[in-house]
Amino acid sequence: LWTPLDAFSHVRLHLIGATLGLGVAGLSLMTVQRIRIAVLVLFVFALGTVLVAGLWPVLSQSRHVQPAAGPNETAFKLISFNSWTQHKDPKQIADFLLSEDADVVVLVEFPAVFKKVLGLLKTKFPHQHDCHGQAYCHIAILSRVPFVDAGAKSDWKGPPLAWVQFGEELGGLMLFGVHFAQPFTPNWQWSQMRALASETFRAKGPFVVVGDFNATKDSFLINAFQEFSGSLRITSLPTWPTWFFELPQIGIDHMFISNGVRPLANPTVRPNAGSDHLPIKAHLAVRTGP
């Protein structure tokens, strides 16, 4: 694989729509020789592509709910949210999280200047960890459940990340929050992916990796990460950009789970909370017994 080509996989559907639209418009221009018809054809294909990209993943998602957590499992709700460093009203982030019933939250693009938000959420999420002490690391993990260890990395081959490890209450689960480089730096992304996959081997039990991967489910990058880390991606919903007619077009925010963790329901996108990304919420169960 020539990695720069992987950048096109993120807009595969849009490229197909554009190609078909141009082809039909060109054909109509050659046969009917009317520019208005060609323009109308292009508009119809463009609108159709946008609607399919934004709505089909949501409408086609199965509503099947898995069995409730078993006697040897513990259920918890997890939110992953790229809160956006350019957020104009960080308090809106706090208001959103206070309205949700999440047990654990991972915030990406959450810079130190937003730290007052953590204070507003301290009562609901008393256990907090961030990587603001690391250069270029803007990730925070908030939890109702206490964790026994935590850390962060930014000056390494992998993406900026913060991690926490829970105790027996969540079966020793290790949670990673990450933020990958931009998709127009594919070689850098692949280097980050390999390093992150290796980092997951540190988990002695179940693990979950969430965050902004700046890559879609159709990319070789995402599929390679699943293979290298032995994890399973459970997300595919479009989350970015929210400013595009309030109809996000591509899904670059993901959740991966290891053996010992399973979804109790399909992940969902949550309401716009002032970011250019939509939050993702998952209801998971982790094995806590034999």
Looking at the fold, whether 47 and 157 belong to one and the same domain comes out as no
Query: Residue 97: CB partners within 8 Å, gap ≥ 6?
Result: 79, 105, 121, 124, 125, 142
Residues 44 and 137 in one domain: no
Q: Which two tokens stand for residue 288?
A: 């806590």
Question: How would you label 41-64 residue by residue, b for 16+ Cβ within 10 Å and e otherwise?
Answer: bbeebeeebbebbbeebeeeeeee
Of residues 249, 288, 275, 223, the one with CA closest to residue 79 = 275
CATH number at residue 108: 3.60.10.10
Q: For residue 206, count CB atoms less than 10 angstroms from its CB and return exposed for 0-12, middle for 13-18, buried for 19 or more.
A: buried
> How many CB atoms are located within 10 Å of the residue 216 CB?
23
Name the token pair of 287. Answer: 């094995």
Q: Which domain holds residue 49?
A: 3-59
Of 166, 189, 167, nearest to 178 (Cα)? 189
Q: Residue 290 has what pLDDT?
A: 82
Do 209 and 256 fall into the same domain?
Answer: yes
Same-domain status, 207 and 282? yes
Q: Is residue 193 located within the same domain as residue 96?
A: yes
Same domain, 261 and 237: yes
Same domain? 22 vs 157 = no
Residue 194 and residue 279 share a domain: yes
Residues 38 and 167 in one domain: no
pLDDT one-digit tens code per residue, 194-207:
999 999 999 999 99
Q: How much is the pLDDT for 250?
A: 87
Quick check: is 64 in a domain? no
Whole-number Å distance between alpha carbons of 130 and 112: 9
Residue 184, CB-side half-sphere exposure with 13 Å CA sphere:
0
**pLDDT attached to residue 236:** 85
Alpha-carbon gap, residue 143 to 147, rounded angstroms? 8
pLDDT of residue 244: 72
Three-state DSSP at 52 gives helix
Please check whether residues 211 and 168 belong to one and the same domain: yes
Asked if residue 10 is part of any domain, the answer here is yes
pLDDT tens-digit profile, the chain (290 residues) = 556 666 656 555 655 655 655 555 555 555 655 666 656 655 665 655 565 666 665 665 555 566 789 899 999 999 999 999 999 999 999 999 999 999 999 999 999 999 999 999 999 999 999 999 999 999 999 999 999 999 999 999 999 999 999 999 999 999 999 999 998 888 999 999 999 999 999 999 999 999 999 999 989 999 999 999 999 999 988 999 998 777 887 899 999 999 999 999 989 999 999 999 999 999 999 999 88
Residue 183 is assigned to a structural domain of this protein: yes
pLDDT tens digits, one per residue of 80-115:
999 999 999 999 999 999 999 999 999 999 999 999
245-259: per-residue pLDDT in tens?
Answer: 778 878 999 999 999
pTM of the model: 0.85
- 159 and 122 share one domain: yes
Q: For the chain, what is the domain count? A: 2
Question: How far is residue 154 from each of residues 165, 177, 187, measured CA to CA in Å?
Answer: 18, 12, 17
Q: What is the pLDDT of residue 218?
A: 86
Residue 68 falls inside a structural domain: no
